[in-house]
Amino acid sequence: MSTAGMRSDASEVYRRYLSAVMLHGHAGARACDLGATDLYALNILELSGAMTPGELGARTGLTTGPTTRLVDRLEQAGYVRRAPAPGDRRKVLVEPVGAPAELDRVMAPARQRIAQILGDYSPEQLGVLFDYFARATTAYQEAADQLRAEED
């Protein structure tokens, strides 16, 4: 990949963006009386559906003990439930059953601001942006998998 046309401060701009997204996630979680990892786990479950605690642990980067405590907290708060896996009742699935009541209110200001920004782009530019988001998602997931494999 050529970086010839790239801004000299591209890395710094991108790192500031990622930091702002993470900061907002932490602030949003606190505003909903959740930990950042709890909100992240709920997002994963909402996007991907029910999964085993092991799968959720792998997706959140948590080991077994912290994953169990995470699921316990979310279950006690009424956001998930443990259910037997279809076809193998020995397995348990974590299923999303609710979202924090305040989440939409808490996230609305950022969503509105981002919608205004996106509204300034042409359909072609939006296509590039969303292509980037999809491809970068895969790249980050693969890089995280690689880092976890190196730990083992």
Residue 40 belongs to a domain: yes
pTM above 0.85? no
Burial tier of 152 (Cβ tally within 10 Å: 0-12, 13-18, 19+) = exposed
Residue 3, pLDDT score? 66
Helix (H, G, I), strand (E, B) or coil at 84: strand
For residue 80, which of 68, 89, 62, 88 has the smallest C-alpha distance?
68
Residue 81 lies in a domain: yes
Number of domains in the chain: 1
Q: What is the CATH number of the domain that holds 82?
A: 1.10.10.10
Residue 76 is assigned to a structural domain of this protein: yes
CA distance 129 to 149: 30
Residue 94 resides in a domain:
yes
- 125 domain residue, yes or no: no
What does the pLDDT look like over 6-62, one tens digit per residue?
Answer: 888 999 999 999 999 999 999 999 998 999 999 999 999 999 999 999 999 989 989
pLDDT at position 15 is 94
CA distances from 53 to 1, 74, 93 (A): 38, 12, 7
Q: Give me the domain span that covers residue 44.
A: 10-100
The verdict on residue 42 lying in a domain is yes
Using the predicted structure, report yes or no on whether residue 75 has a pLDDT greater than 90.
yes
